Amino acid sequence: MQTWPSHPVPRVPGTPRPLRLYDTATGEIRPTTPGPTATMYVCGITPYDATHLGHAATYLAFDLVHRQWLDNGHDVHYVQNVTDVDDPLLERAERDHSDWVVLAMRETALFREDMTALRVLPPRDYLGAVESIPEIVEAVAKLLSDGVAYRADDEQYPDIYFDRLASGHFGSVSNYDADTMAKFFAERGGDPDRPGKRHPLDALLWRTARPDEPSWDSELGPGRPGWHVECSVIALNQLGMGFDVQGGGSDLIFPHHEFSAAHAEALTGLHPFARHYTHTGMIGLDGQKMSKSLGNLVFVSRLRGDNVDMMAVRLGLLSGHYREDRAWTDTVLDEATARLARWRAAVSRESGPPAEPTVARLRDHLADDLNTPQAIRALDAWAADEGSDTAAPAQIRDAVDALLGVALPGWSGV
Task: Pick what 251 binds: Zn ion, ligand 5CA, none; C-beta below 5 to 8 Å, kind-dependent.
Answer: ligand 5CA
Question: Closest CB to ligand 5CA among 16 and 301?
Answer: 301
Give the one entry of Zn ion, ligand 5CA, none that residue 132 binds, where binding means its C-beta sits below a cut-off of 5 to 8 angstroms depending on kind. none
Q: At closest approach, how far in Å is the CB of 272 from ligand 5CA?
A: 19
Contact partner, 283, from ligand 5CA, Zn ion, none, Cβ < 5-8 Å per class: ligand 5CA
Q: Name which of 205 and 407 has its Cβ closer to Zn ion.
A: 205
Q: Which of 187, 188, 227, 189 is nearest to 207 (CA)?
A: 227
* Contact residues for ligand 5CA, defined by CB under 6 A: 43-46, 54-55, 57-58, 81, 83, 231, 248-249, 251-252, 280, 282-283, 289-291
User: What is the nearest approach in angstroms of ligand 5CA to the Cβ of residue 342?
Assistant: 27
Q: What are phi and psi of 61, to 5 degrees?
A: -60, -45
Instruction: Work out how close the CB of 53 gets to ligand 5CA at its nearest, in angstroms, rounded to a whole number.
Output: 8
Rounded to 5 degrees, what angle do the CA atoms 51, 324, 401 make? 65
* Nearest-approach distance from CB 234 to ligand 5CA, in angstroms: 9
Q: What is the 3-state secondary structure (H, E, C) of 204-254?
A: EEEEECCCCCCCECCCCCCEEECHHHHHHHHHHHHHCCCEEEEEEEHHHHH
Nearest-5° Cα angle at 364, 29 to 410 = 115
For Zn ion, which is the closer residue by CB, 43 or 312? 43
The minimum distance between CB 55 and ligand 5CA, in angstroms, equals 4
Taking alpha carbons only, the member of 280, 274, 229, 275 closest to residue 253 is: 280
Nearer to ligand 5CA (CB atom), residue 55 or residue 224 = 55
Contact 107, 292 (CB under 8 A): no
Q: Which is closer to ligand 5CA, CB of 301 or CB of 387? A: 301
Could you report how far apart the first and last alpha carbons of the chain are, in Å?
20
Binding site for Zn ion (CB under 5 A): 43, 231
